[in-house]
């Protein structure tokens, strides 16, 4: 949800920025775009497709998430000269760090999970178990490594559909927003720094 919001607001802001600059919107030229799609396939199979996600063992699902994020990091690194990519790299690296530190899944606390589903359902779940078929694992704060990087933030209450997201997700979202706003063109100050 947060990434979709970043995409939409970045694209709309980019259109407005282009109009203000009196030039048409330019879709950013992104290299190795195929790699981003390939990187998403393990997540798609392990977490999003109902036909496959229930059949994939937990160990393989965890490995799929780590593989996916590693490939996405490689894709972002190969496009690091584009506006917003360094924020995207930072966000992906933070998410990968907390996921690896917690056994291949993104930790979520029972308190945060209680905002997403009824509290009674959360209480019936075992600590250390996966939170549904998603990327999260239910962990107590004291048992979470790098807890400040976990899925601990929520959208404002005015949103009817709630999701939890991490600090890494925020950096990824800002990176996507900035990429689409700037249409892939870095600010001149960064271009000058690269030449020095």
Burial 123-144 (b: 16+ CB within 10 A, else e): eeeeeeebbebbbbbbbeeeeb
Hunting for tokens 């720094």 — which residue is that?
Answer: 193
> What CA–CA distance (Å, rounded) separates 83 from 57?
38
What proportion of the chain, given as a percentage, has pLDDT over 90?
Answer: 70
- Spans of all domains in the chain: 2-23+31-195
Backbone phi, then psi, for 140, in 5-degree steps?
Answer: -70, 150
When pLDDT is averaged across residues 138-147 and rounded to a whole number, the result is 97
Pick 26 or 70 by higher pLDDT.
70
What proportion of the chain, given as a percentage, has pLDDT over 70?
Answer: 94
For the cut 80, the answer to whether the pLDDT of residue 150 exceeds it is yes
For the cut 60, the answer to whether the pLDDT of residue 190 exceeds it is no
- Other CB atoms within a 10 A radius of the CB of residue 188 amount to 8
For the cut 70, the answer to whether the pLDDT of residue 49 exceeds it is yes
pLDDT score for 192: 47
Convert the pLDDT of each residue in 113-130 to its tens digit: 999 999 889 999 999 999
Can you give the pTM of this predicted structure? 0.89
When pLDDT is averaged across residues 125-150 and rounded to a whole number, the result is 94
**153: part of which helix (H) or strand (E)?**
strand 153-154
Burial of residue 146 (number of CB atoms within 10 Å: 0-12, 13-18, 19+):
middle
Convert the pLDDT of each residue in 170-185 to its tens digit: 999 999 999 999 887 8
């Amino acid at each position: 949800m947060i990434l979709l919001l970043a995409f939409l607001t970045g694209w709309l802001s980019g259109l407005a920025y282009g109009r203000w600059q009196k030039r048409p919107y330019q879709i950013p030229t992104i290299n190795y775009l195929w790699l981003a799609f390939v990187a998403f396939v393990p997540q798609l199979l392990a977490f999003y497709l109902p036909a496959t996600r229930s059949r994939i063992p937990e160990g393989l699902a965890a490995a799929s998430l780590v593989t996916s994020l590693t490939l996405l990091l490689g894709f972002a690194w190969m496009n690091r000269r584009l506006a917003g990519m360094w924020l995207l790299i930072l966000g992906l690296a933070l998410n990968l760090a907390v996921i690896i530190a917690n056994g291949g899944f993104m930790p979520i606390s029972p308190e945060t999970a209680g905002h997403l589903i009824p509290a009674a359902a959360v209480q019936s779940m075992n600590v250390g178990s996966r939170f549904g078929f998603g990327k999260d694992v239910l962990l107590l704060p004291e048992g979470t490594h790098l807890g400040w990087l976990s899925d601990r933030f929520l959208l404002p209450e005015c949103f009817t559909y709630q999701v939890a997201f991490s600090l890494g997700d925020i950096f990824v979202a800002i990176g996507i927003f900035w990429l689409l706003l700037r249409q892939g063109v870095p600010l001149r100050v960064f271009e000058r720094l690269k030449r020095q």
